[in-house]
Every structure is written in C-alpha cells, then in structure tokens.
Chains A and B, each alone.
Chain A
Amino acid sequence: MQALPATCWLNPASCEKNELMIALSIFNRVVMAAVTLFGVALIVFVLLRVVPGDPIAMMISPGASAADIAALRAHYGLDASLPVQFGLWLKAMLGGDFGTSISLKRSVLDLLGERLPATLELAVAALFLAVASGVAVAVVGTLMRRGPLEPVVDALNGVFLAVPDFVWALALVLMLGVFYPLFPLSGRIDPTIDMPFATPFYLIESLVRLHFAVFCDVVAHMVMPVLALGLPLAAIIARVLKAALSEAMVQDYILLARLKGMSELRLVVQEALRNAIGPTIALTGVQFTFLIGGTVIVERIFSYPGIGNMAIDAVINRDLPLIQGLVLVFGVLFILVNLLVDLLVAAFNPRLRHG
C-alpha cells in the first residue's frame, strides 16, 4: 500500500493537488480493498472445497442411502458446480446475507456481530499493553545504554521475543491460574454474574454503565489472554524502538538539545522518540494483524468466546459458511489496520506530512 495519499488526508493544505489527490487516494483505497477482499473470498471459497473434509460426510447417518446423502448435499447448497456456488454465495453476501452456519444453525452475520466485539476488546487491550510496555522498555533500555544493565534488559527482551503467544498462554494458565490462582482461567465473564448486556462490548458497556464489579470481572478474565497476546508484541516493539532510539540519540539535533541542558529522559522522550517512532508504528501495525491471528489459539486455551475460538470449531466441523464469513472479517480487519497504520505513519513523520 502506498503511504502518499494518507498525507493528503491528514493535511490537505500541504498537498499541492489536494482535492484531486484525496479523491483519487480514497478511490484507490476502496478499489484495492474491494479487490483484496474479492481475492480473499475467492481463494477461501475454492480452498475450502478443495482441501479434504467434506461437511456432509460428517453428518451422514449410518442408515443413509445415496439419495439421502444427495438430499443433504442439496439442503446445504453444495450440490451445484463450484462457480455456481460461488456466484450464489457472492450475490447473497453482497445483499448482506452471509448464510447460515451449518453447525450453529444461526445467521453467520449475527454470530460475527456477537463474537467479533469480544475479540476486538481482547486485541485492542493487548495492543495497548504491548505498546505501553514496549515503549517503556525501549525508553528505559535507551536510558541504560552502554550501562551494566543494558545487556540484562536486552536478554530479558530476547526471552520475551522468543516465546510465542500460545506458550505464554499455557505458562500463564499454570502460573496465574493454578499455582497462584489470581485470575479466572476461562470465559469472558463469571457465569454467576447476572447482567443483561445491551451490546456485545462487555468491557466498554460495563464501564459506561458504571457496573464497577462487572467491569473488574471482565478485566480479570482478560488479564491472562491479554498478557499472552501482548507480551510477544511488546518485546518486538521494545527491540525495534530501542534500536531506532539508539540511532536517533547520536543525531545532531539530540547533541544540540543536550548542549542546551536537557535531561537525558527528556532527550529520549521529547526529542528522539518522536523521530524514532515511525518504523515502530509501521511494524506494530503489521504485528497487530499477527496478534489478531494469534487470538485463534489464545482464545481457545482460555475458552474466550471470540471469533478465534469460534473459528476453530468452524474448521473442525467444516462449517463452510461460517469459515468464509470469519475469513472475510479477518480480511477486513487486516485492511483497516493497514490503513490506520499508513495514516499514523504519515501523522508521525514530518517528511511525509509536509512532503
């Protein structure tokens, strides 16, 4: 994706052909997103029907005749040719009908609407944790550079970097779930809590409605999955940002600021960080999409009712309509995240902003 159009969106005045550029870039984005989504939809649709695992074979009763099996196949619309099936699905989807889940017997769109917020809350919380702790470690590490503690910080960061999210999840289950049972092991909310939520955004809603006990319970259920998802990303952010900060700290403008008498902390936070953050934002965006992918396993381990957990069941049951819907949602999320990253990179990079 090109970052140039984003500069015009943020600061049209700085763009020489701003209006035309804005219109073109928006059009460009929409077309690219549509083409990408169409490609994703087509690939997933074909792949699901080519890879082993026929959903009908999993439903055949012991006494079923060939006619019964054919009827079942027709019932789920799997008897037509692949192009016809794809055309029908695409047409229905464009009309807002994502189909009905074979295993859950409910509208795919409704299911996604219910489960996506859980995953979004988890992913965004993990992102916040990762950014906050990653930036903090990078700043501290930069302040300690060339000191005796720098290798310790780097080594610890390396350990966090090497351990993948699902290993963190299992380790956390043991540490904070069994040995020191501080946090709930499974679910999104305590099953004994009776609170009729009006929206699927439990965290936000409980906070807005000032149900503090419920809010704390939802947060408690998020702690371990958020840590599992956020710690590896935090380590990546810390490593990249620390390297960028170290590079920035030897630049002339830092030397000048230091000569003016600025403290080391202010030098790092106020001067170097602004210039060094660009690559980190771009990388964080890319890694955030991986983080969303990581929710599949992490949600499963913590029985967290998001789209990741649902995706595993959908794959096991070869629930084709649901898998297709889920993949499209992941696709949309990836496109939106990339778009947001482009905007943020432009916002933080003066050369792009004024370019």
Chain B
Amino acid sequence: MTTLTRREALSLGAATFITGILAGRNIVLAAENGTLTIAFNVNLPSFDPTTGPSAVNPAIQAIYRSIFDQFIGQGPDLKFQPGLLTDWGWNEDKTKVWMDVREGVTWHDGTPFTPEDVVWSLTRAADQKGGNPISFIWSTAGNYKIEGHRITGDVLRFEPTYFKWMAFLTGYVLPKAYYEKVGAEGFEKKPIGTGPYMVDAYEGNAFLRLKANPHYFGGKPAFDTVVFKFVPDTTSRVAEIESGSSDITLEIPYEDFDRLKKKSGLSGTATPISDIGMIFINNIDVMLDKNVRLAAHHAIDKKAIVARLLRGYGVPIDTLEAPEYDAFDPSIVVGYDAGKAKALLAASGYSSEKPVKFKIQTTRGFKPKDYEMIQAIVGMWRKVGIEADIEVYEIAKHYELRAADALAPAAFYNWGNAIGDPTTSTGFAMFGPSPHSVWNTDDLDNMIGPLWGEKDEAKRIAGWKAVSKYIAEQGYVIPLLQYAQPIVYKESLKVVPNVSGALQPTLVAKA
C-alpha cells in the first residue's frame, strides 16, 4: 500500500486543483458545436422590451429581436417585411387601420399565439400608465376589433409612422395570457416570446444563454445555442475575440478592427449604420447670427475627419437624413469651404484676430472618437476665426440639459433612426415642441408642423426634404457623419451586416 506524507498529499491536492482550474478552460467554437458566443457591448437590464429605459436602447434590440417578434419585421437593409403581422395598412381615408395576424405561431411555452395577443400588446403599449416610452405613437390608434385573423382599429389621430414603429423600439408582441398569469416580476424571471431563440439561462452583467426555438415560424435558427456575454469594456471585448473566447464582437476601436481583421482566423466588416454624429446648434447668443452658424458648418472638413480620425469608417453627411433613409436628398450639399467660412464671419465682423467665441459641449468616449472629433473641429474653426471652448460632460448631463433646453450654443450628439423615417430623425431633433430638439424657432416649426399628420406619403417625404434643405441653408444644425459599425468574427462564420446596427444572431450563419 502506498503511503503519502502530509507534504506529498498537500502537493498532490494542489496539483489536482490547479489542473482542474486550467483544464476547465473551455473555448466553445461556433462552427464546431453549434454554439455562437457573442461578446456584446451592453448589459441587458430587463427582458420587457416595451417599458423603461432599456426599451428605447437601440443596442439591446438585437437581444429582444432574438427572443420576441415584432409586429412587423425588418430586413438588414431597413426594409419592412412580414413579422407577426403578415399584412397591414390603412383604409382609403385613413380613418381605420387593419392588420392580418400570422397563423400557426406558438409561444415558447407551446401555447398558441393569437390576435388577442396583438391587441393586448397594442393596448398595453398605448396606456400611458403602463410605462411604455413610445405610448404617444401607440395611442394614435385604438378600439381594436378581431375578426378571424384580421384586426381592425380606429385611427384616433393619424400618425404616418404608426406601422413603421411596429418594427422599431417597443414594437414587440408579448404573450397576453402568460404575462397576466405571472405578472411583470414573473415575466422578468422567465420571459417567453415567439422569437427564434428561447431564454435558457441569464445572469445579469455576465451572460444570457439562448436555445434555438425548434418551432420558429421562420425556420429553425442556424445555431442551437447563442450566448451573449455582456462585455461593456472595449479592451475586454477585443481580448474576447482575440483569445478565441468569443466568436464575434462589435463596437471596438477602428484601430483594433483593422488589426484584428488581418489576423489569421478572423474576419471583419464595417458597414454604415443608422446612427449619425451631429452638432446641435442652440438658438442662443452668437448662434442667432446666421453667418456664424453657416461659417461653423463650412469650416468643417468632414472627409478629413472620417479619413484621419475614423480611419475611413464613416460617411460624411450634410443633413440629418442618411443615404438609407426615406427622405435622403443627395442634392443638399453644404460642403467644406474655409474661404467661404471666413467671408461669412467677416460679414458679421469676425476674423482670426477678432474671433467669434462660444462653448461646445461633448461627451468623451461615449461614441468613437467623439472628443477627438470635437478637438479637430475646434482646430478647424480656429483657422477661420471661431474660438470655441470645449466642455466635456457625461451623456446623462446632456439629456438633462437638452430636456431643459439649456445646452451650450453647440453640443455634439449622435442620433439613431433604425426605421429611416424623417420624423424620427429630422422631426424629433429639430421640431421645437419635441423635448429632444435644441433649435426652437417658429419658421422651422411652421414648416415641420403640417408634416406630422400628412396623409399623402409622397407629399410628406417631399415636405421633409424641403425641411432638410431649409435647415442646411439656415445652418440650424451641423450633421457630421454616418457611423460605420465594426464587427469582427471568426472566419468560420458568415455575417450579414444590419443597417439598424442590431447584431442579431439570425444574421449570423456558419460559413
């Protein structure tokens, strides 16, 4: 019989323990065992996609779209497509809405999905007390009636984007019977939807594990398991993909993107998405001078900013409408012209010797190179006779100041618009009564006002293009660029970039 001394026994135990820890290192490869691991950039605060702050966080929509289905689906090119509604529309005089509900769909618990679920979800979303931040849209229709698989409802106030919002923030169908049975807390603990993946395990601030829904109406998903690792730290996300611990990641610095996509076994894509960088102009102080506003815009070399700061990843823009949006008008060009900027300033009595002075606010690290971009712009401004002081603030302060209409004369911000409608970009950003607008003057409000309820779609879009042209001529805002979203993934995968920016597992497949 072998006998061990105390020292030998302790050494053996320690060796076994260390071996156990190191052997436990388990890198799961997507292409090999059907598990897709995503190093995701934000945490998932809540499973309810219709209430609270997380419901309006565009970054989380990729997760929500995996578990739930929207009323109306949306392709990676922002085009609308059938979701849980197969068809939809208004009647002739746009006093009624109608929707055809998909048949043969089941919830993750096996119970059938019904038109009652759709009506309940719409009614709940419209209820101001329910906590849906987009209730102002959902409350524009009501008195829903169900006949077979068709739902009809009254238009209470015509809202041209009513159906578009069905593919956007909070436009999700939740299970009426299940939610009423388990309540809000119960739903948070065990959420179910009709989506391609089912919740299997969740640990806040750590990971979400999803299992494929074998009965999904769109067909069984490509991966049996999808793991969203919540890795908000950029360095850690880079490390996750570089070490092979994750199969795919997004929103990393462009420098790392360029480096990683050249590495053996990795690929990358950086496609323009529905998110733009802009400088809000407030109608105060020197910004009341049109020459100053226009000079500030003409003095910015956006192409140089994209090329040098963002390594070419981004699209310079001159209006708040990106090329993929419905009201994009390529004929509206402001253009970089330092000479013109100087002339405009001179007309108002300013020069390099006697610069016009104002403050510009920006975040630092909230968006890629935000602070550096503003530093570069301030440098460009200085050359033409604009002296701007930079104030760095947290994004929370930006929201507070913007809601109180107390932003500085210039303030950097980014604006997402995943449905590409002009109301959800130019509209909310520039219409005075909107709590998100910064420039508030009657001339612009009088132009925008009638467009909110315009029933003729062609006329509506033409109207918004005219608004964009007017804004550019008056210099009421300085659009800078459309962001490109960097995604790095293993070569064994195939990724379809999504213009909305949502990295949905359904857009990832084995190569």
Chain A interfacial positions (CB closer than 8 Å to B): 52-54, 56-65, 68-69, 71, 75, 102-106, 111, 114-115, 170, 173-174, 177-178, 181-192, 194, 212-213, 215-217, 219-220, 223, 299-306, 309-310, 312-313, 316-318
Contact = CB atoms under 8 A, between A and B. Distances in A.
Nearest to B452: A63
Interface of B: 17, 20-28, 35, 37, 39, 43, 45-46, 48, 51-54, 56, 128-129, 131, 133-137, 184-185, 188, 201, 203-207, 209, 225, 227, 229-233, 235-236, 239-240, 242-245, 393-397, 399-404, 424, 427-428, 433-436
Contacts of B225: 192
Nearest to A106: B188
A187 B232 CA distance: 12
A316 B46 CA distance: 15
B434 A62 contact: yes
B259 to A, nearest CB: 12
Given A60-B436, A105-B52, A191-B206, 11 more contacts: A57-B396, A57-B400, A57-B404, A68-B128, A173-B236, A181-B244, A182-B25, A184-B245, A185-B245, A189-B206, A220-B24
A188 B203 contact: yes
B45 A174 contact: no
B232 A105 contact: no
Contact of A54 (B56, B399, B436): B399
B232 A300 contact: yes
B53 A62 contact: no
Contact of B24 (A56, A65, A106, A190): A190
Nearest to B225: A192
B26 A192 contact: yes
B203 A57 contact: no
Nearest to A315: B396
A190 B134 contact: no
Contacts of A174: 239
Nearest to A192: B28
B435 A58 contact: no
A219 B21 contact: yes
B454 to A, nearest CB: 16
A102 B53 contact: yes
B206 A213 contact: no
B239 A62 contact: no
B168 to A, nearest CB: 11
Contacts of B399: 53-54, 57-58, 60
Contact of B231 (A103, A303, A316, A318): A303
Nearest to B424: A62
Nearest to A308: B205
Contacts of A301: 233, 235-236
A187 B403 contact: no
Nearest to B433: A65
A68 B204 CA distance: 30
A69 B51 contact: no
Given A105-B46, A191-B209, A220-B25, A185 B243 contact: yes
Nearest to A214: B24
B206 A304 contact: yes
A192 B227 contact: yes
A21 B507 CA distance: 70
Nearest to A69: B435
Question: Which 5 pairs show the lowest CB-CB distances between chains A and B?
Answer: A53-B396, A62-B428, A216-B20, A63-B136, A52-B397
A174 B238 CA distance: 10
Contacts of B23: 216
A57 B52 CA distance: 12
B21 A59 contact: no
Given A61-B134, A64-B136, A188-B206, A303 B52 contact: no
A57 B402 contact: yes
Contacts of B402: 57
A305 B203 contact: yes
User: Which one of B51, B205, B240, B397 has the highest number of Cβ atoms from chain A below 10 Å of its Cβ?
Assistant: B205
B363 to A, nearest CB: 12
Contacts of A103: 45-46, 52-54
A322 to B, nearest CB: 10
12 contacts: A52-B401, A61-B134, A61-B135, A62-B424, A115-B204, A183-B25, A185-B236, A186-B231, A302-B236, A303-B229, A303-B231, A312-B232
B26 A59 contact: no
User: Which one of B17, B207, B401, B402 has the highest number of Cβ atoms from chain A below 10 Å of its Cβ?
Assistant: B207
Contacts of B396: 52-54, 57-58, 316, 318
A317 B17 contact: no
Contacts of A194: 201
B397 A305 contact: no
A103 B27 CA distance: 32
A62 B421 CA distance: 14
B243 A177 contact: yes
B236 A187 contact: no
B435 A60 contact: yes
A303 B206 contact: yes
Nearest to A312: B232
A223 B45 contact: no
Nearest to B435: A60
A303 B136 contact: no
A223 B21 contact: yes
A53 B394 CA distance: 8
A184 B25 contact: yes
Nearest to A66: B435
Contact of A75 (B39, B131, B393, B400): B131
A6 to B, nearest CB: 35
B175 to A, nearest CB: 18
B33 to A, nearest CB: 9
A188 B22 CA distance: 15
A172 B228 CA distance: 23
A216 B23 CA distance: 9
B23 to A, nearest CB: 7
Nearest to A59: B53
A191 B20 contact: no
User: Which one of A215, A299, A313 has the highest number of Cβ atoms from chain B below 10 Å of its Cβ?
Assistant: A313
Given A53-B394, A216-B20, A187 B204 contact: no
B440 to A, nearest CB: 14
A216 B17 contact: yes
Nearest to A187: B206
Contacts of A317: 45, 53
A53 B424 CA distance: 24
B255 to A, nearest CB: 15
A305 B205 contact: yes
Given A191-B207, A305-B203, A313 B136 contact: no
Contact of A310 (B135, B204, B229, B400): B204
A279 to B, nearest CB: 31
B188 A181 contact: no
A316 B53 CA distance: 11
A185 B240 contact: yes
A213 B25 CA distance: 11
B18 to A, nearest CB: 9
Contacts of A104: 45-46, 204
Contact of A313 (B205, B209, B243, B401): B205
Given A104-B46, A181-B245, A303-B205, A213 B20 contact: yes
Contacts of B48: 105
Nearest to A60: B435
A186 B206 contact: yes
Contacts of A177: 239, 243, 245
B435 A191 contact: no
B89 to A, nearest CB: 22
A115 B43 CA distance: 15
Nearest to B209: A191
Contact of A220 (B21, B129, B204, B403): B21
